[in-house]
C-alpha cells in the first residue's frame, strides 16, 4: 500500500467548473501538506501549503486538510484552460526534514 | 531572480554508463533535494543536502550518490545505469530544508533516457 493515494484521472471539466482534487494517506504522523501543479515536461510548482487540519484559501484555490480522516483536498473555482496540468499532493512528517512524499498526481483538463 | 537551474536538460545514456546531473539552487538557499519522477508517477525522494551534509536519503541503491559544494550547488551521480533509471530527475531548493520554515522550489528537471 502506498503512503499517499491519489486518483490519476484524467479528469475533464468544462471551463468555469469547480474542480475537486483529493488525496488520502496512511501515516497519521504527516503534519505538513502541499499541493503542486506540474505542466507537461516542467518541474512542479508550489500552489498551496498547509499545516495540520483546516482550510486555506488563495484566490481561486482552497486547500482542506482533515487529519481525522487522513484526507486532503484542493478545490479550484472558476477553472480555466490554463489550469490544465497534473496536480500533485505532497506531505511530510516533521519539521526537521524536507523529504516530501508525493501522490501519483491527477491529470486535469479544462475544456474551453 | 533566477529560479532553480538544472543541467543538462536532456541526456541519453546506455546501460552500464555513469551520469552526473547538476543543480544550482535559488540564491540564498542552502538546502538541495533530489527527486526521481518516473513517467506517470509522483516524484520520489532520493537525497537531501544542507550545508554540504547529507540530511536524508530515500530508498535508492548505492549506485546513486550526491554531494553539495560550498556554493550550495549540487551534483547527483548514478553509476551502472539501468533501463529503469530512465526518468525526470528533479532538484528542489529551500532555505534550510525544514518543512515548517520554508518550502521547496523545483527546477525544470533533467530528463534521462537509458537505452
Greatest mean pLDDT among A29-33, A46-50, B8-12: B8-12
Q: Which of A58, A92, A98 to mutate to test the interface with B (most CBs of B within 10 A)?
A: A98
Q: Give the chain B residue nearest A4 (alpha carbons).
A: B42
pLDDT at B99 > cutoff 70: no
Cis peptide before A10 (omega within 30 of 0): yes
pLDDT at B104 > cutoff 90: no
pLDDT at B43 > cutoff 70: yes
Distance in angstroms (rounded) separating the CA atoms of residues B36 and B66: 13
Q: What is the pLDDT of residue B100?
A: 56
Q: What is the pLDDT of residue B101?
A: 54
**Distance, in angstroms, between A34 CA and closest chain B CA?**
9
Q: B-chain residues within 8 Å CB-CB of A86?
A: none
Write down the residue that cell numbers 543541467 correspond to: B7
* Confidence category of residue A60, pLDDT binned at 50, 70, 90: very high
Interface of A with B in 44-63 (CB under 8 A): 44-46, 49, 51
pLDDT at B10 > cutoff 60: yes
Q: What is the pLDDT of residue A94?
A: 67
Distance in angstroms (rounded) separating the CA atoms of residues A78 and A83: 10
* Confidence category of residue A36, pLDDT binned at 50, 70, 90: very high
pLDDT at A95 > cutoff 70: no
pLDDT in tens, A62-92: 999 999 999 999 999 999 999 999 999 999 8
Q: Classify residue A22 by burial, with Cβ atoms within 10 Å: 0-12, 13-18, 19+.
A: middle
Strand blocks (E) in B8-109: 10-13, 19-24, 31-37, 44-50, 53-57, 64-68, 74-78, 87-94, 105-106
Across the interface, whether the CB atoms of B99 and A42 are under 8 A apart is answered no
Lowest mean pLDDT among A28-32, A105-109, B15-19, B105-109: A28-32
Q: Give the chain A residue nearest B88 (alpha carbons).
A: A41
pLDDT at A8 > cutoff 60: yes
pLDDT at A31 > cutoff 60: yes
Distance in angstroms (rounded) separating the CA atoms of residues B68 and B91: 12
Q: B-chain residues within 8 Å CB-CB of A52?
A: none
Across the interface, whether the CB atoms of B106 and A45 are under 8 A apart is answered yes
pLDDT in tens, B51-92: 899 988 999 999 999 999 999 999 999 999 999 999 999 999
Q: Which residue has the higher pLDDT, A87 or A40?
A: A87
The reply to whether A86 touches chain B by the CB within 8 Å rule is no
Across the interface, whether the CB atoms of A94 and B99 are under 8 A apart is answered yes
Query: Which residues make Cβ contacts (< 8 Å) with residue B62, sequence separation at least 6?
Result: none
Provide the residue count of chain A: 112
Select from B31, B51, B48, B32 the least CA-distant residue to B96. Answer: B31
Amino acid at each position: 500500500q502506498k503512503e499517499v493515494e491519489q486518483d490519476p484521472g484524467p479528469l475533464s471539466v468544462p471551463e468555469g467548473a469547480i474542480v475537486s482534487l483529493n488525496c488520502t494517506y496512511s501515516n497519521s504522523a504527516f503534519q505538513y501538506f502541499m499541493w503542486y501543479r506540474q505542466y507537461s515536461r516542467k518541474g512542479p510548482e508550489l500552489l498551496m501549503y498547509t499545516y495540520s487540519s483546516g482550510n486555506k484559501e488563495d484566490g481561486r484555490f482552497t486547500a482542506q486538510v482533515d487529519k481525522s480522516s487522513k484526507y486532503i483536498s484542493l478545490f479550484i473555482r472558476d477553472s480555466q484552460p490554463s489550469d490544465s496540468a497534473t496536480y500533485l499532493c505532497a506531505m511530510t512528517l516533521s519539521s526537521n526534514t524536507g523529504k516530501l512524499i508525493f501522490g501519483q498526481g491527477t491529470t486535469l483538463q479544462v475544456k474551453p | 531572480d533566477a529560479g532553480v537551474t538544472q543541467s543538462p536538460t536532456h541526456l541519453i545514456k546506455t546501460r552500464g554508463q555513469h551520469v552526473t546531473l547538476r543543480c544550482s539552487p535559488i540564491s540564498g538557499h542552502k538546502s538541495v533535494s533530489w527527486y526521481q519522477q518516473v513517467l506517470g508517477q509522483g516524484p520520489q525522494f532520493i537525497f537531501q543536502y544542507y550545508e554540504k551534509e547529507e540530511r536524508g536519503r530515500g530508498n535508492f541503491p548505492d549506485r546513486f550518490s550526491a554531494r553539495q559544494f560550498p556554493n550550495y550547488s549540487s551534483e547527483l551521480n548514478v553509476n551502472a545505469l539501468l533501463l529503469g533509471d530512465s526518468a525526470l530527475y528533479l532538484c528542489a531548493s529551500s532555505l534550510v530544508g525544514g518543512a515548517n520554515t520554508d518550502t521547496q522550489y523545483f527546477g525544470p528537471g533533467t530528463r534521462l533516457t537509458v537505452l
